[in-house]
């Protein structure tokens, strides 16, 4: 079984109407905001999850300092709490 087969997949539409498929690598909260780490064959992106009138929307993070701080915190958290060995789940 491929590792991405275990992940949720979503389709994101950009501001130009282009649709891109991503695997959801992680969902996490930091500083009272929720974030999604998404990956495709071509890229990995970090997006903020925002609620608007009861619906969730993904918003790109344009501030490089915010993005770097989030990725550093995520990396530290993953290193401190490594995932279980996936072989136990098959």
Which residue has better confidence, 22 or 84? 22
Contact (CB, 8 A) for 78 and 69: no
For the chain, domain boundaries: 3-83
Q: CA 86, CA 41: separation in Å to the nearest integer?
A: 21
| Residue 86: per-residue pLDDT | 44
Q: Is the pTM of this model over 0.85?
A: no
CA separation (Å) from 62 to 48, 54, 67, 72, 81?
10, 24, 8, 16, 28
């Amino acid at each position: 079984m491929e590792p991405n087969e275990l992940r949720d997949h979503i389709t994101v539409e950009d501001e130009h109407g282009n649709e891109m498929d991503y695997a959801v690598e992680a969902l996490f909260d930091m500083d009272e905001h929720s974030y999604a780490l998404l990956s495709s064959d071509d890229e990995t992106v970090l997006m903020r999850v925002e609620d608007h009138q009861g619906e969730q929307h993904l918003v790109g993070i344009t501030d490089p300092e915010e993005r770097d701080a989030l990725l550093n915190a995520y990396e530290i958290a993953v290193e401190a709490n490594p995932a279980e060995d996936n072989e136990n789940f098959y």
